[in-house]
Amino acid sequence: MQKEPYLFIIWQNARFLEKQIAVDIKKNFEIFRVYEICWTPTYFAQNLARFYGKKLPKGCCKEREVGTGAFKLYLVYDTAPQYINGVNINPINSKKKYRQLTGGNLVHASDTPAETNENLLFLLGKTWKEIEEEGPHDGVIRYNRDIIGCPGWPDLSTALNTARKIPFTRVKAYKNSYLIHSRTPDLVRRILNASGCFSLPGIHKYSVNIGKSVQPIYIRKVN
């Protein structure tokens, strides 16, 4: 079986055991890149909510649990993935081990290549393929930026081009704006950091912050 891409996040409050976790990651996976990411504390809770989406329960103080300081991102290959019920149990088992080790939900891991790409779009604004084409990197890459589109986008083309990177998603001109067709409309909404929606027949209209202006965007779910 071909090797597959995955990622691990060691949140700030787990970094007291980072060296031990990193040794285990290297033992079980092929490390491709390592980042140290720092989000703006003011936007940390918002970043987490967008990153986890519906997986983050309402009222959860996740930022207090994981810490709002710099965290580490490990991009890895699994050279021998083992699938059960549609997910790779290798990163799942490693994540469970690291969480038991640190005493909480302080380590995140993707469990499919699709989730890896989704996570990377939020964290870096790139797909695995784009990062892979850039090649490996020695040492730790410092990355001091919030999740893409937070608190807004620098320009409309960057926002729409990022949305186009979502599988089974396309963008076209519509009513002096843009209509996005996607199999995963909620993911599109979270990626764009869109808000203020109301429904039209089969379509949702959202507002997206572009610089100092607000851009209406229409999103339609397709099968």
- Give the pLDDT confidence score for residue 61 in this predicted structure: 82
Structural contact between residues 159 and 208, judged by C-beta atoms closer than 8 angstroms: yes
- Give the pLDDT confidence score for residue 59 in this predicted structure: 54
Decide if pLDDT at 57 tops 90: no
Express each pLDDT in 27-48 by its tens digit: 999 999 999 999 999 999 999 9
Mean pLDDT of the chain: 94
Express each pLDDT in 59-97 by its tens digit: 568 888 999 999 999 999 999 999 999 999 999 999 999
Residue spans of the domains in the chain: they are: 4-143, 156-221
Name which of 140-154, 188-202, 209-223 the model is least confident about.
Answer: 188-202
- Give the pLDDT confidence score for residue 1 in this predicted structure: 67
* Model confidence band, residue 199 (pLDDT cutoffs 50, 70, 90): confident
User: What topology does CATH give the domain 4-143?
Assistant: Alpha-Beta Plaits (3.30.70)
Provide mean pLDDT across the span 207-212.
94
Q: Most distant CA pair in the chain: distance in Å?
A: 55
Decide if pLDDT at 53 tops 90: no
* Model confidence band, residue 58 (pLDDT cutoffs 50, 70, 90): low
* Model confidence band, residue 182 (pLDDT cutoffs 50, 70, 90): very high
The b-or-e profile of 194-207 (16+ CB within 10 A means b, else e) is: beeeeeeeebbbbe
Decide if pLDDT at 101 tops 80: yes
Structural contact between residues 222 and 169, judged by C-beta atoms closer than 8 angstroms: no
Higher-confidence position of 57 and 142: 142
Provide mean pLDDT across the span 192-212.
87
- Give the pLDDT confidence score for residue 29 in this predicted structure: 98
Decide if pLDDT at 222 tops 90: yes
